[in-house]
Amino acid sequence: MNDFDALLKRSFAEAPEPADDGFSVQISRAVAHREKTAKVRNAAYTVGMAAAAAAVCYGAYGLMGLYGQEVLATAGLEVARVHGALSGAPSVGGAAQGMLQSFGAGLTQMLLVFGALAGGAVAYRAAQD
């Protein structure tokens, strides 16, 4: 470090500002004012949110009073309709079972027809011979 650097360092170190009470008081006042404003803002926000929630609840209550019964009745009807549609829907298992039953019942007739035809054919062949 040369002489000038030392001089510079000394000069910088030598010049602290004297304490000024007015400066501290001004900052304390500004901080207190900001805190007060923040508190008021928070309180206003809370009141605003509460008022908005109350308005929403009141509006919902009014709507329910006007249309609630109708809405509930329509909803109940829709539920019943859906339930009916679901329970009345054709079952794939049932349809398959019915088809197999029909096929089983018809099989006897088919065998009888087939047997008669075969017998007829044998009798005709014998008559030709």
Partner 1 sequence: MAARGFLNLAQATEAALIIAAQARDQAAFGELVKRRQGWARALLRRMCSSHAEADDLAQDAFIKAWERLTDLETPAAFPGWFRRIAVTTFLMAKRKQKAIFEEIDDASPIAAEGSTPEAAAGAKIDLEKALAMLSDAERLCVTLNHGEGLSHSEIVEITGLPLGTVKSHVLRGTEKLKRLLEPAT
Q: Which residues bind partner 1 (CB under 8 A)?
A: 4-5, 7-9, 11-12, 14-21, 23-24, 26-28, 30-32, 34-35
Least distance in angstroms from the C-beta of 12 to partner 1 = 4
Closest to partner 1 by CB, 1 vs 86, is: 1
Closest to partner 1 by CB, 32 vs 75, is: 32
Closest to partner 1 by CB, 19 vs 105, is: 19
CA torsion 35-36-40-43 (nearest 10°) is 60
Q: What b-and-e string marks burial along 32-47, b requiring 16 or more CB atoms within 10 Å of the CB?
A: eeeeeeeeeeeeeeee
Return d(Cα 119, Cα 4) in angstroms, integer: 136
Least distance in angstroms from the C-beta of 28 to partner 1 = 4
